[in-house]
Every structure is written in structure tokens, then in C-alpha cells.
Amino acid sequence: MILWSIFALMTAAAIFAVLWPFGRGAQKIGGGSDVAVYKDQLQEIDRDRAVGLIGEAEAEAARLEVSRRLLAAADQALAVTGAVTQHSFRLRRAVTVFALLILPFGAPGLYLALGSPNLPGEPALARIKTPQGRESMASLVAQVETHLAGNPNDGSGWEVLAPVYMRLGRFDDAVAARKKALALNGETATREADLGEAEAAAADGVVTAEAKIAFERAIALDPHEAKARYFVGLAAEQDGRTDEAANIWRSLVAEAPPGAQWVGFVREALTRATAASSAAGGPSADNVAAASNMTEDQRGEMIRGMVARLAERLRDNGADVEGWLRLVRAYVVLGDRDKAKDAAADAKRALADHPDEIKRIDDLVRGLGLEG
């Protein structure tokens, strides 16, 4: 309120400054010099007649001539004064209207058209500390969230918001938005794969059971869905089935369309899985075929057996950092976080002479939330 009062006083002062010169009386026009000269001539004629320099007849004739010129000069001065006065009046009226109407009402209108009166105020220090570009993203997210709070059934809004949440690292919010988009817009392979990706991100990169279900639904809808196939391979790798992961990624690379940007990323994963499978003596093709006919309990038992064999191998040869990483992930997937922590500690002891590899173990521990 104080700010608006200050603005009102400033506007009034500006208007007063504009109107003050026009409220003063009209200045006398200097065009009346001819009239003054003729008046002096009349007085001079009277003086000459008084001292006898000219006669009465001559004086009268001179008076008539000078008076005629005086009247003509007076009429001309009056006409000029009237014209100037009328022009000045019109100018004053135009300036007065501008000052009274355009200034107080035009300035707010211009601000409403070009300014942002609806945005909340923000301290200057906060604006300086806000990284460039972040304020616009935060503003966009806030606007969409406000819209969706009043229109929760706007499926396109949830579709727009979900990837933004992913970029901001708000993975739980991204999962909720993906589920809303699926429910409102219908099931597609892409939406299922996006949901699985968000769920894996929310679990620190671990392909959880819920995420795997979403990826499997995506592949059922579209067997060529690349994102879902990659994550299914990642789930196999995290379960210790590196040979199966390698087969999935090998097929994915072979079927990739020309110029696909994700091919290089999948090739790196394939190289990692192939190397780990060779080093660990992963499951044979017969094992993989048999696993596809097992029940969930039987498959889980087989996975636990593989994890146990991997742990035993690492106790004998602890220099395999990839094996340790795989073992820690496998324990997390199996839900045994205590064993995952113990495996990480064993790995750091076995790799004590390799600080770079210990850093990889520490990064994984932080990523899986195993600290403390």
C-alpha cells in the first residue's frame, strides 16, 4: 500500500510540473512596437505646435495621418494577438488532456501490457543466487502443477510434467506423474517403458520388481521397444545373469535402426556383461533355457545359488572389481541390504591397493543408499 501511495504522489508531481507553465497568464506580445512609435509621433506634433515650429493647419494634418497609421497598426496587433491566443489555448488544452488522462492511465496500461504484475516479488539477493535458467524451469513447473491441481484429469499435463521431474531428479514425483499419464491417456509401450524407467531411477538405478513388470508390459505391447529391452537386460545383469543380459543387448544392437543414438550406450553395457560373464563363468544356455520354465520360487533359488557362487569366487580372487559391483547389486535386488553392505566392505579390503576401484565401490554404495 505504501508503494502505491508513493507512485500516486510521483504521478501527481509529474502532472503538476507539466501543467504549471500553462496555468500562468499569457505573455505580452512584442509586436506592438509600431503602436508605441505612432503615439510618440502624436506627442511630438503637440510639442512642435506648442513652441510654434508648425502652424495649426499643418499640425492637424499631421495628426490625421499619424492617427490613421496608429489605428491600422493597432488593428494588426489585435489580429495577431487573437490568433496567437487561440493557438495557445488549443495547445494548452491538448497538453492538459494528455497530462490528466494519458499519464495516470496510460502508464499503468503500458505496464499491464509489457510487465508482469501477477508474479510475486522476490528479494534481489534471491534473484542473484538463483542459477540462470533455473528460475524459468521452476516457474514452468509451478504453473503446470497449479494447473493440474485444478485439473487433475488433464492427461497431457501429466505427460508434459513427468519428463521434467526426471530431469530435475524428482523421481518419486516422476513415477506418480507417469502413472497418471498411463491411467488418463491409455496404455502404450512407450508409457509403460517410461514408467519403468522412473521406478528404476527412484530406486537408485536398481530395476525393482515393479519396474520390471512395467518393462515386460511394454515389450508385450511392442517387442521392439528399445528402452524396455535395455532395462530388462539390466535387470538380468543385476540379478547376476550376465550371459542373459549380454544376449538381450546383443539382439538390441543388431536390430537398432541406423543412427540410433542409444546404440553406443548399449554396446558399452554389452561389453561389460560379456566380460563379466566370461570371468564369472556365468550360466550356460541350458541354464537360461531351464530358468524360463521355472516358477518364481525356483528361479529365485537359482539366482541365490548363482550369487552365492559369485561371492565364493570373490573370496578366493578379490581383484575383480566388476564382480564385487555385481555382487553388491545382486544382494540389493534380493532385498538383503546387510549382505550388500558386508560385500562392499569386503570389496574395499580386497581392493585396498586400487583407490580408483575403491571409488567405484563407494559410488555404488552411495547410489544404492547403503551408507550408514
pLDDT digits (tens, 9 = 90+) for 1-10: 565 566 566 6
How confident is the model over 138-164, as a mean pLDDT? 88
> Burial, 208: exposed, middle or buried (Cβ in 10 Å; 0-12, 13-18, 19+)?
middle
Using the predicted structure, report yes or no on whether residue 225 has a pLDDT greater than 60.
yes
Q: Which residue has the cell 572389481?
A: 321
Q: What gap in Å lies between CA 228 and CA 163, rounded to an integer?
A: 16
Q: Does the structure show a pLDDT above 50 at 125?
A: no
The residue with greater pLDDT, 216 or 2, is 216
Does the structure show a pLDDT above 50 at 84? no
Reported as a single tens digit per residue, the pLDDT across 139-150 is 878 888 888 899
Mean pLDDT of 200-210: 89
Among 138-142, 254-258, 285-289, the least confident range: 285-289
What is the grid cell recorded at 94? 491538448
% of the chain surpassing 90 pLDDT? 20
- State the number of CA atoms in the 13 A half-sphere of 87 facing the CB: 6
Burial (CB count within 10 angstroms: exposed 0-12, middle 13-18, buried 19+), residue 326:
buried
Residue 177: closest CA among 154, 159, 191, 190: 159
Higher pLDDT, 27 or 75: 75
If you average pLDDT over every residue of the chain, what do you get?
74
Residue bearing the bigger pLDDT, 129 or 336: 336
The answer to whether residue 23 scores a pLDDT higher than 80 is no
Please give the pLDDT value at position 86: 56
Q: Averaging pLDDT over each range in 28-32, 55-59, 217-221, 242-246, which range is the top one?
A: 217-221
Mean pLDDT of 269-297: 60
